[in-house]
A and B are shown apart, each in its own frame.
Chain A
Amino acid sequence: MTLVQKARLKSLWVVHFDCGGCNGCDIEVLAALTPKFDVERFGIVNIGDPKQADIMVLTGPVNHKNKRVLRDLYEEVPDPKMVIAVGTCACTGGIFHNCPNILGGVNKVVPVDVYVPGCAARPEQIIDGVVLAMKKLAGEAPEEDE
């Protein structure tokens, strides 16, 4: 493992985008930054600028209006990048599965690396999800068998 790869695992900058969920997960993502959980311990910063981000944290189901925004945002994040779908609606659509303007989970629009379940996902689960993403970045994730 090169030095850059090692550094990458210790400095994950997050860009967070709400695709139209209920805000529950969004405030939990924010709560993960605050003193009780403080993800900055792992070098995780909510950077807000897609051009410098490593991890996309997506919450909420995708609708027809913001799928274009989401795709643009995904394109803007430089490689190597990880996409974490936080919350039930971001994974599959969850309770909004039969709403007419909903496409379903964010995996309908962008490839997702880690799925974090929960409605709303708890900060502990979000931290676990980031740890999984770190493992995948380090190449320790199990191979996809398709």
Chain B
Amino acid sequence: MALATPLIGGLLMGVDRKLTARMQERVGPPLAQPFYDALKLWGKTVMIDSSLQPALAFGYLGFALVAAGLVTFRQNLLLVLFVTGMADICLTVAAFDAKSPYSYLSGRREFLAMLSYEPVMLLAYTAIFMVTGSFTIRGIYEYGAPLLLVLPAALVALEIVLVIEMKKSPFDVSGHAHQELVRGVFTEFSGYTMALIELGRWTKLATTMMILSLFWAPSPVIGGAISLVMFFVVLMVDNLYPRLTWQRMLRTTWAVGFALILLNVAALAVGGVIL
């Protein structure tokens, strides 16, 4: 199951590209396009700037896969968060390690992106803990009632996280900002290292989607539908907004994300659901 996550993520990426193209009045690439891209990248000659790069690319994919595995085996959410964080750090370090100024700048921005969404995720998990009394996914399943009914605002906050995670505008400051930074953090990867990074991204996307589907934990089908709706909303937002700066990203995520979750928790406390 954990090994299938890259496939799900890849398919989602294909859906993403197709839908984006349709929103722009184009036909768009076939659904399997990300797989073609990754396969092709695997067969290309690789140019390696530093010997650390391949190791870090493997690390990125590895940590992402571990995170996916932890989610499938219903482990601790905090652990998932830290392992995904490790994956991101691999990417950031690899970007810093390359000698290109574009790579360096976007590595810096990727770091800031992590800084902006991880606290929100942490807070959301804490809210889940306050409701269910457990940080583990198993605990969420055992809680019985769908989380969406108790924590709707936290889901909205996680929507912002998904935007950053998928590197979509308005907060695509590090990955997709080709107008500013060519290919962002991916500038200096080529050949199989890039293919690994792509696989890692798919895995991470699928992991995040699985976490989102926990908001209707008793039924994976409804949960999956919720996460797909959120995915679609991200695509809409991507096509509706230009890119903003990282300063704005940090401010928005912290202000809106924290406020939403704290309000949610406060409302629950007042309503007597928790404590």
Using Cβ atoms and an 8 Å threshold, which residues of chain B touch A80?
A: 44-45
Instruction: Return A45 CB to nearest CB of chain B, in Å.
Output: 8
- Tell whether A100 is near chain B: CB-to-CB under 8 Å: no
With contact pairs A49-B187, A52-B183, A78-B191 given, residues A4 and B45 touching in the complex (Cβ less than 8 Å): no
Give the residue of B35, B43, B190 whose beta carbon is less than 8 angstroms from that of A8. Answer: B43
- Chain B interface size, as a band, is 20 to 34
- How far, in angstroms, from A42 to B17 measured CA to CA in the complex? 13
Q: Are B45 and A11 in contact (CB under 8 A)?
A: no
Within 8 A of B (CB), among A2-49: 3-5, 7-8, 10-11, 13, 34-35, 38, 40-43, 47-49
- How far, in angstroms, from A10 to B178 measured CA to CA in the complex? 22
Instruction: Return B190 CB to nearest CB of chain A, in Å.
Output: 4
- Tell whether A128 is near chain B: CB-to-CB under 8 Å: no
Within 8 A of A (CB), among B186-240: 186-191, 194
- Tell whether B42 is near chain A: CB-to-CB under 8 Å: yes
- How far, in angstroms, from A24 to B203 measured CA to CA in the complex? 42
- How far, in angstroms, from A4 to B240 measured CA to CA in the complex? 36
Using Cβ atoms and an 8 Å threshold, which residues of chain B touch A38?
A: 21, 26-28
Using Cβ atoms and an 8 Å threshold, which residues of chain A touch B255?
A: none
With contact pairs A38-B21, A52-B183, A52-B194 given, residues A43 and B36 touching in the complex (Cβ less than 8 Å): yes
- Tell whether B40 is near chain A: CB-to-CB under 8 Å: yes
Q: Are B33 and A43 in contact (CB under 8 A)?
A: yes
Q: Are A7 and B26 in contact (CB under 8 A)?
A: no
With contact pairs A10-B33, A10-B36, A41-B27 given, residues A52 and B178 touching in the complex (Cβ less than 8 Å): no
Cβ-closest chain B residue relative to A46: B178
Give the residue of A4, A42, A78 whose beta carbon is less than 8 angstroms from that of B42. Answer: A4
Q: Are B43 and A4 in contact (CB under 8 A)?
A: yes
Q: Are B183 and A3 in contact (CB under 8 A)?
A: no
Within 8 A of A (CB), among B12-33: 17, 21, 24-30, 33
- Tell whether B148 is near chain A: CB-to-CB under 8 Å: no
Using Cβ atoms and an 8 Å threshold, which residues of chain A touch B189?
A: 51-52
- How far, in angstroms, from A49 to B183 measured CA to CA in the complex? 7
Using Cβ atoms and an 8 Å threshold, which residues of chain B touch A76?
A: 47
- Tell whether B79 is near chain A: CB-to-CB under 8 Å: no
Q: Are A8 and B40 in contact (CB under 8 A)?
A: yes
Instruction: Return B94 CB to nearest CB of chain A, in Å.
Output: 13
- How far, in angstroms, from A52 to B189 measured CA to CA in the complex? 7
Using Cβ atoms and an 8 Å threshold, which residues of chain A touch B45?
A: 78-80
Using Cβ atoms and an 8 Å threshold, which residues of chain A touch B182?
A: 48-49
Q: Are B187 and A51 in contact (CB under 8 A)?
A: yes
- How far, in angstroms, from A2 to B275 measured CA to CA in the complex? 61
Instruction: Return B14 CB to nearest CB of chain A, in Å.
Output: 11
- Given contacts A43-B30, A52-B186, A78-B190, 12 further A-B pairs with CB under 8 A are A4-B39, A8-B39, A10-B33, A10-B40, A11-B36, A11-B40, A38-B21, A38-B26, A40-B21, A40-B29, A43-B33, A52-B41
12 A/B residue pairs, CB under 8 Å, sorted by A: A4-B39, A4-B40, A7-B36, A8-B39, A11-B33, A35-B26, A41-B28, A43-B29, A43-B37, A49-B183, A51-B47, A78-B47
